[in-house]
Amino acid sequence: MTATFRLLDAYVGWQPLDVTGLAGFTDPGGVTLARTGAATGGLDRQDLLPWFPDPRLAAAKRAGSWYLLSPAVLRHDACTGTWQPVRLVGDPADLPRAPVAIATGGHWLAVVDTDRVLLWSRDGDHLAAVIEVPGARLVAVARDGELVVSRAGSTDLWRYDRDGTPRGRVRSGAPGEVIGLRLDHDHTGWLLTEDTDGLHLSRGRLGHHPFEPATPADLAAALPASNLVATWEAGFCLRERGPDGDPAELCFSWAGAPLADRPQSPRWVTAGELTTEPIDSGLSRCRWHRVSLDADVPAGTMLAIAVTVTEDGDPGAAPDPRDWQRVPAGILDFLVDQPPGRHLRLRLALAGDGTATPVVRQVRLDFPRATSADLLPAAFGQEPAAEDFTERFLSLFDTSLSNVDRAIERHPALLDAAGVPDGVLTWLGGLIGQSFEAGWSPDVRRRLLLAAGDLYRRRGTPAALRTIVEIVTGVEPVLAELAAERNWVTVGGHSRLGTGRLFGRAAARVRLAGAGGVGGSPLGRAPLHGYGDPGGDPLAAHAYRFRLTLPPGSLAPGPAAALTRLVSRQAPAHTAGSVRVGGFGLVVGVRSTVGVDTAFVPLPAPLLGPAPGAGGRTQAARLGRSSVLRPGPRGPRIGAPVGAVVGVQTIAW
């Protein structure tokens, strides 16, 4: 198959020959200007601030509260927004003299002072330990009070118990110098180090070394982010709720004084450029057609593109500056106006003010030139200048039509319930008349959409109803048609009043007939009124009714109401259904569902009469709970004599 385009992106590659000031060539998010103070493609210190704050800051146990070295220890109250001094208990000689770092963990507070580490419990109410650590720089505290300390000039760590007892040295093997240190709940250490290549993030269990490289995503999954959003030479900013309840940034100096605002420090370099290697079309004297970019150009930034076409594919052969076709800045789709050639070079120039950056996700190069002008008579192409104008003019319409054709080609993907985003599922269900309850998860909605064809074919059948309920609830229901539970008795001509008892619900009816089923019954002078034909009651009662039963605990009250609405929508119009969630008791009778709310266990065998006891003595046996006395050999009308003590649930027949 002949290729008709080339792509440049993170998946195919950018084929860079010369790069300055750009990053993100392996990031699907796109190529951007490089971060200030970071190597190409490296970590950004500002992005890691919520987990590795300045050593003078430490997040307190209470959400939104912080400790600050100013150099006195201050505590910030998120409710009042003020910084108050913390009273540290201890002898004057044991109080901080020149603190450089602070850390918290649980109710523990640690301060790195001159060649020593001070540890307090109960947020400063009790001095637990004073540990001599020459060259101490950073400290981290676990919830149980264990300390991990880093020293100047090394990425190794030293461990101490909460009473100051040394627990050994951990060789992390991380490059550079430690500028950030954290501990998570399972005593995993997180290190942020810096060397000439930029920042490095690593993690490892204490006592297990060396540490392994980690990503910001790993860090975010293990430790919650704080509300610290920015630091600079003069102060820092916290994101808190403002007076109106909306998030707002509050900025403070390193002395705890409020600041009006933070300066807009540049996060990206101001200029960068990419020049690709010669991109081979595979066609000699190829007429390159079109260049289109998938890119974002925010306000305050600029993106410029230039191309040149040559027959020579030598990367070392630099084209003449006059051979480049430059398009105006901001143009993301244009036609190539170059002589025919097999190879094309592309140059991207990105620029910004330092606070924002352009993003280039993909570049598409179309070749050879093919337009609707090829369908015109040859007379339109006799003059080269006229032919070129006609091709470029018709390309405007061809581009619009190709975008429509591409959307039509991708239309089946928009209807794929397994591939569309979660937000499209409700819209997709509306196309086929399928509504969703608010509490249904995206996974349930996808499964309903995927099964919609089969469910519509079998709609109104017990199998379809069971399937859709199982998709929504995750459990298999029991569907019972109540017509099968009809129980009726007929009192014939040989029955005598006084020897039997007829009872039932108030809505039940009884019919008294004479010999042969005809005539009346002389019951005094009381009139007998008839309401319809009782002979049809056995057929009409419970007709077109069904009950759906689920195991106990399978549904909460809210989902149970949603399930009832679902059943009413899926059931045939002439039927009436109900939903019942099994309880935890024992129900025996027509409403019990074996395996859902009924359990059958064997009963102990009862003993009647004398039974052997301890020491060879005999004793009378007592009937226990749920014992049954059946009729003896003298016949059922006489009954069985009860000579023993009957339990609370004994039935005598």
> What digits encode the pLDDT tens for the residues 57-91?
999 877 668 999 988 999 987 777 789 999 999 88
Instruction: Single out the residue of 287, 291, 304, 311 nearest to residue 348, CA to CA.
Output: 304
Rounded Cα distance, 307 and 292, in Å: 12
Rounded Cα distance, 345 and 365, in Å: 11
> Given its phi and psi angles, is residue 567 left (phi above 0), alpha (psi -120 to 50 degrees) or beta?
alpha
Q: Give the domain CATH number at 237.
A: 2.120.10.30
Question: Do 144 and 247 reside in the same domain of the chain?
Answer: yes
In a domain, 427, yes or no: no
> What digits encode the pLDDT tens for the residues 152-208?
988 999 999 999 999 989 888 888 899 999 998 878 899 999 887 778 999 998 876
Question: Do 91 and 65 reside in the same domain of the chain?
Answer: yes
In a domain, 320, yes or no: yes
pTM: 0.47
Question: Do 71 and 163 reside in the same domain of the chain?
Answer: yes
135 alpha carbon, distance to own chain's centre: 44
Output the CA torsion sign for 425, 426, 432, 437. positive
For position 512, what pLDDT does the model report?
55
Question: Do 194 and 71 reside in the same domain of the chain?
Answer: yes
Rounded Cα distance, 281 and 341, in Å: 9
Question: Do 102 and 250 reside in the same domain of the chain?
Answer: yes
φ, ψ (nearest 5 deg) of residue 231: -140, 150
> What digits encode the pLDDT tens for the residues 364-394?
998 887 777 777 777 776 777 777 777 777 7
Question: Do 252 and 128 reside in the same domain of the chain?
Answer: yes
Rounded Cα distance, 584 and 558, in Å: 20
Q: What is the extent of the structural domain holding 136?
A: 57-259
List of E strands, 467-512: 478-481
Question: Do 101 and 158 reside in the same domain of the chain?
Answer: yes
Instruction: Single out the residue of 80, 54, 90 nearest to residue 69, CA to CA.
Output: 54
**What is the number of helices (H) and of strands (E) in the chain?**
9, 39
Looking up tokens 């450029």 gives 273
Percentage of the chain lying above the pLDDT 70 cut: 77
Q: How many CB atoms lie within 10 A of CB 479?
A: 16
Q: Is the pLDDT of residue 276 over 90?
A: yes
In a domain, 452, yes or no: no
Question: Do 617 and 642 reside in the same domain of the chain?
Answer: yes
Output the CA torsion sign for 9, 15, 21, 27. positive
Question: Do 229 and 200 reside in the same domain of the chain?
Answer: yes
Counting Cβ atoms within 10 Å, is residue 219 exposed (0-12), middle (13-18) or buried (19+)? buried
- State how far the alpha carbon of 484 is from the alpha carbons of 216, 538, 543, 568, 572, in Å: 63, 10, 9, 21, 18
Question: Do 169 and 315 reside in the same domain of the chain?
Answer: no
Contact 200, 175 (CB under 8 A): yes
Rounded Cα distance, 627 and 605, in Å: 8
Domain count, the chain: 4
DSSP structure class, residue 81 = T
> What digits encode the pLDDT tens for the residues 553-578?
777 666 778 888 888 888 888 888 88
Contact 592, 598 (CB under 8 A): yes
How confident is the model over 306-315, as a mean pLDDT? 91
φ, ψ (nearest 5 deg) of residue 380: -75, -10
Q: Is the pLDDT of residue 613 over 90?
A: no
More confident residue, 389 or 428: 428
Question: Do 248 and 320 reside in the same domain of the chain?
Answer: no
Q: Give the domain CATH number at 309.
A: 2.60.120
Rounded Cα distance, 509 and 529, in Å: 11
Rounded Cα distance, 236 and 225, in Å: 16
Rounded Cα distance, 644 and 610, in Å: 10
Contact 90, 78 (CB under 8 A): no
Contact 46, 53 (CB under 8 A): no
In a domain, 288, yes or no: yes
In a domain, 395, yes or no: no
Q: Is the pLDDT of residue 648 over 50?
A: no
Q: Is the pLDDT of residue 416 over 90?
A: no
Residue where a domain stops, chosen among 327, 355, 370 = 370
Question: Do 219 and 80 reside in the same domain of the chain?
Answer: yes
Q: How many CB atoms lie within 10 A of CB 416?
A: 13
